[in-house]
Structure 1
Amino acid sequence: MTMKKLLIAFVAILSVLAVGCKKKGGDGTNGFPANFMTMRDSERLEYMMRRVDPDSVARFLCYSYLGRVPGSKIDTLAVAHLYACDKYRGEDFEKYITSFEAAVNELPLCDKMHTQLALGTSDTLSVGYDLGLGYVSQIRTRGLTQKDIDADIDNLRKACGTDTATYTRFVKGFKTALQADRGKDLPNDIYSRYINLK
Structure 2
Amino acid sequence: SFRVCGEDRIGIVFYGDGASSTGAWHEGLNFAAVQRCPMILIVENNQWAFSTPTSKNTRVSSFTEKGPGYGIDAEAVDGTDVLAVFDAVRRAALQVRSGGGTHMIELNYFRRKGHAQHDPQDYVDPAVIRAWEKKDPLDLYRSKLLHNEWASEDELVAIEEETFEECRVAAEAAIAEPYPEGTEAVTGVYTDVPTPHPWTRSSSPDPTLA
Question: TM over 0.5: same fold?
Answer: no
Q: Normalized per residue, which structure has more strand?
A: 2
Q: TM-score, normalised by structure 2?
A: 0.28
Q: TM-score, normalised by structure 1?
A: 0.29
* Greater Cα radius of gyration, structure 1 or 2: 2
Q: Normalized per residue, which structure has more helix?
A: 1
